[in-house]
Amino acid sequence: MSGLVVREGAHRVSVETLSEAESIELLHRVLSGYRDDEDDDLLELSRLCAHLPLALRIAAERAAARPRMPLSELIADLRDEAGLWDALSADDATESEAVRTVFAWSYRALSPQVMRVFRLLGSHPGPEFGVAAVAALAAVHPTEARRALDTLAGAHLLEECGHDRYQFHDLLRAFAMDQAQHEEPADELVSAQHRVLRWYLHSAAEAGRSATGSYTLPVELEPLPHGVAVATFDSHRAAFAWYETERDNLMVAVRTARSLGMHRVAWQIPAVLAMIIADREPGSTWLSTQELALDSAREIDDRYGEAITLDDLGIACRHLFKLGQAAGYFEAASTTFREVGDRSGQARAVNGLGVVRIFGHHLDDALDDFQQALETARELSHRAFIGFFTRNVGWALLERSELDAAERTLREATQLLQDLGEPLEVAESLTLLASVLRQQGRAQEARDAAESALRTAGELGGKLFEGLALLELGRIAMADPDVGDALARLQEAAALFWRVGRLDLQAVAWNATGQVYVMAGRPDDAAQFCRRAVAAQRERGDRWQLALSLASLADAVELGGASAEAQTHRSEAASLLREFPDPEARAVHARVLSAMES
């Protein structure tokens, strides 16, 4: 539930225990059609269960499964079980003992094989799990794992939460852990944890390879225990879907591995998922987990693991627009890669630093970093990095308004990435090329390139890349007299950017939407979107995008007759734009000054 609180803003609600009447009603509903008991016996059963819904449900299912046994005998059994166990906690001994007694009552009705699976599930990293993970945990065939899970769900010791997905109630998880500590050999508990953590590591590595291809740095994985079969994926989309299902478990797996001293597993899980995380998550989602991974790499003096994790932290901080911290992480990663003699890792870190520069609109420095990374990739004949870094050189040239050079470079990059079989990277390259073509006045070619990027990203489930293509299609459509298509594209783009946590790009889409409404002569709508963009960029600290949004807001409010407010926004935009020496910044600055003087 903590994940819902953190990601969705859910609120915790305390629920009281049931009244005697509600407890009896619940028992009647479960037992209806199986047996007919007196209310006095049901009341006694509900008291033994402390009027707790979960305990009542389990006890009722036990009674329903024995329709010919008098309820008084079942109650006697339950009283006998109560003598076998101490309370789960000291906070409320009566309720805890009642719950634990009912759990034990159902647990001891299981077969030994299912009891073992239940015990081991207490050590699973995370309260929700799939069949394959349970098979690894218990070292059994998936078919046997599924049967055990179905049995446990039927006994209400687990509950189904999706296709082949199950979860524990917190109290049942605690009970399973307690049973494991009392009944399971210590070495088997350790082996079970090692099996499932390595299953998550190797499955995550398969997802990373299937979803993001060759940009992820190579990692020599901790060996997979004998007999454990990892997840496999037949498409990018399947890999992404598995990651999204297992995200919380993967983060818990890092913390669990670290607590068990499995430090290589702890740093390797986020490392093999690096590009899935970068393309699909807000920077904050994995940040604390990646910091733990860095601690683990340093704990065992694994310098290569330290370098990779520093690079991952650079990406996270870059997405959070903590550009100073991001630059520090990339510089530290570059130094560490150099010290361990990994030139390809060093080139990747320098490329990452270039993206930081471009986020801050320091375009000369960005181009230098990208060209340095590309030169190293060519020396190493690293085909994947040559394709990626060539694309980024084209990106920097585009931002510098060197359109002819940008077009040549991006066409080269697109072909390289197609030859590599990197479709999502091709989609991003095509989107950048579409921007070049649009600015050259070649609208139809631009639209064709962006539509191709959108199709590719959509087929693969690459939401970030879909959003980028839609943003560009919205900009292309701004040239049309009918603004409906532009607004629709920009709205779709903003929604996708929100889904993947790229609030910076969502604000860019809002600003473009405001510009469309200015063109349509709708000042109130224009001002509304531009103000949202300004607020988001101001909070983020993105001075370049803030300047652009302020200029758009000035146009919107002036259209609505607020000339004095427009001058205020233009004055702030002009002040910000003076910080940037590139041709585009100078051109925007000139337009803002001209508007102030008119």
Report the percent of the chain where pLDDT is more than 70. Answer: 93
Average pLDDT score over residue span 164-170 = 84
3-state secondary structure of 130: strand
**Does 87 score more than 50 pLDDT?**
no
Q: Which residue has the higher pLDDT, 449 or 85?
A: 449
Span 114-125, average pLDDT: 94
Which pLDDT score, from 0 to 100, does residue 4 have? Answer: 60
Whether 11 has a pLDDT exceeding 90, the answer reads no
Q: Cβ distance 534 to 574 under 8 Å? A: no
Contact 318, 331 (CB under 8 A): no
- Pairwise CA distance, residues 351 & 337, whole Å: 13
Q: What tokens does 444 get?
A: 């139809």
Residue 144 CA: distances (Å) to CA of 180, 333, 593: 20, 45, 73
pTM flag (> 0.85): no
Band of pLDDT at residue 95, cut at 50, 70 and 90: low
With bands split at pLDDT 50, 70 and 90, how would you rate the model's confidence at 85? Answer: very low
Q: What is the mean pLDDT of residues 340-362?
A: 96
The helix (run of H) or strand (run of E) holding residue 324 is helix 323-339
pLDDT score, position 236: 85
CA distance linking residue 175 with residue 172, whole number of Å? 5
Picking from 7-16, 112-121, 156-165, which range would have the lowest pLDDT averaged per residue?
7-16
- Is a pLDDT exceeding 90 seen at residue 395? yes
What is the model's pLDDT at position 15? Answer: 60
Q: What is the structure's pLDDT at 94?
A: 53
Q: What is the pLDDT of residue 567?
A: 96
pLDDT, residue 509, reads 98
Looking at residue 477, what is its pLDDT? 96
Q: 216-237, pLDDT tens digit by residue?
A: 788 999 888 888 999 999 888 8
Distance CA 292, CA 294 (A): 5
H/E segment holding residue 583 = helix 583-597
Q: How far is residue 598's CA from residue 588's CA, in Å, rounded to a whole number?
A: 16
As a whole number of angstroms, the distance between CA 266 and CA 285 comes to 16
- pLDDT: which is higher, 104 or 420: 420
Confidence category of residue 97, pLDDT binned at 50, 70, 90: low
Residue 464 CB contacts under 8 Å (≥ 6 apart), including other chains: 279, 280, 496, 497, 500, 502
- pLDDT tens sequence across 255-275: 999 999 999 999 999 999 999
**pLDDT category of residue 57 using cuts at 50, 70 and 90:** confident
- Does position 8 have pLDDT exceeding 70, yes or no? no
Mean pLDDT for the chain overall: 90
User: Quick one: pLDDT at residue 105?
Assistant: 76
Q: Percent of the chain at pLDDT above 90?
A: 69
Q: Does residue 78 carry a pLDDT above 80? A: no
- The pLDDT confidence band at residue 3, using thresholds 50, 70 and 90, is low
pLDDT in tens, 270-317: 999 999 998 888 889 999 999 999 999 999 999 999 999 999 999 999
Beta strands in 91-227 (DSSP E): 128-130, 159-162, 165-167
Which pLDDT does position 501 carry in this prediction? 87
